[in-house]
A and B are shown apart, each in its own frame.
Chain A
């Protein structure tokens, strides 16, 4: 019997479970390699050659090249890994959140200073469906 994924109806959330961990393995291993300066240097000198070392899918590779932060997560990336790519680009966790939410840096930062995103209306996918968000 399959394990029940009772967390899949949380809107705007990708829980990094064993399935995502499997799908994202090479993508995440690429990302974590960037925590070391010598690897950041090699990547920044020639992104394509560096990416060749990691057997990720063409879609994953494109999402890296495009810095498509949400797509990276949809393809099995985890935020703690993708944040290493962000750090390489000089982008902080909070700036990444501004990008992933589509809010932009200023509006996102203001939301946080004002107490963050309320759980009201943000617990279940059907709440987002009714609001027309996805």
Chain B
């Protein structure tokens, strides 16, 4: 059977992708941001997931205003990096485990999560930046080291799904993964955040204290954390900080008991606080493959 072994929380700031694509990662502005991912790259090499379930949001790139699915699962064979107005990122095409994705879609819907099925989709920085951060610089002729199942969440038009709904979706994703017959190790990513506001007169808001408590409570109080009301994200973490609801899907898919393997927090990347965490199921720690 397939199983979820660990979760990764990770910001997906577009400027991080630009910095990598333009070779600026050693510049003084960027070096401290990327330094915190060195350990993560070692970790994921060791963890060698077969599949990543990558929870992210599209930023009005592929999903325009004509349709706004709250949850959508990528079921296509592959997903090309999208042109977001600056040309597509020069990174590999993302390949799906298509059989597993359709299994998850079917399982989720029967589990009463009525997701939208995406049989054609390009992916924006929300998906490719976390892959770049975790796997390093890979070009268009390379391959990502594992298969990726994209799970898109609407966090652009208010309201995003509640934290509670996201947490429970994580549990349903876990049930779906565990009912898949192939023997696969799966890591789930929750991306976006942390505190940031990109718009209007309060743009630039950063709330490090709030971000840190969010990361702390992923281990100590995940259920309580998932009850955070939307207005708290908007007020405390900025209008775009509400992206953090996606981290609850990641957290819900893990065991109740997790151990924090790694954490990184850095301000700023462009307008945003960069947060990153790796959580492993306690019972899996130390267990060899």
Contacts and interface: CB of A to CB of B under 8 A. Distances in A.
Contacts of B83: 35-37
Contact of B65 (A15, A73, A81): A81
Interface string A104-134: 0000100111011111001110000000011
Interface stretch (A44-52, A55-63, A83-91): A83-91
B201 A100 contact: yes
Nearest to A19: B158
A116 B240 CA distance: 14
Interface in A87-104: 87-88, 92-94, 96-97, 100-102
A40 B84 CA distance: 12
Contacts of A66: none
B11 interface: no
B48 to A, nearest CB: 34
B202 to A, nearest CB: 3
B158 A14 contact: no
B201 A93 contact: no
A80 B202 contact: no
B214 to A, nearest CB: 14
A93 B270 contact: yes
Given A29-B66, A32-B64, A115-B267, A93 B15 contact: yes
B44 interface: no
Contact of B204 (A25, A70, A111): A111
B64 A29 contact: yes
Contact of B273 (A34, A87, A92, A116): A116
A101 B204 CA distance: 9
Given A81-B65, A111-B204, A97 B198 contact: yes
Given A11-B201, A13-B200, A16-B156, A112 B59 contact: no
Nearest to B210: A119
Interface in B54-97: 59-61, 64-66, 68, 82-87
B157 A112 contact: no
B159 A97 contact: no
A116 B158 contact: no
Given A112-B268, A115-B267, A119-B210, A25 B203 contact: no
B175 interface: no
Interface stretch (B176-184, B227-235, B248-256): B227-235
Contacts of B200: 12-14, 70, 73, 79, 100
A119 B205 contact: yes
A6 B59 CA distance: 24
B271 A93 contact: yes
A78 B204 contact: no
B257 to A, nearest CB: 32
A84 B198 CA distance: 13
Nearest to A87: B85
| Most interface-central of B83, B84, B198 (chain A CB within 10 A) | B198
A133 B234 CA distance: 19
Contact of A13 (B61, B82, B239, B273): B239
B270 A112 contact: yes
8 contacts: A7-B231, A12-B202, A87-B84, A87-B86, A97-B271, A115-B206, A116-B204, A122-B202
Given A80-B60, A119-B236, 11 more contacts: A11-B201, A13-B197, A16-B158, A28-B64, A34-B85, A73-B200, A87-B86, A100-B201, A112-B267, A112-B270, A123-B236
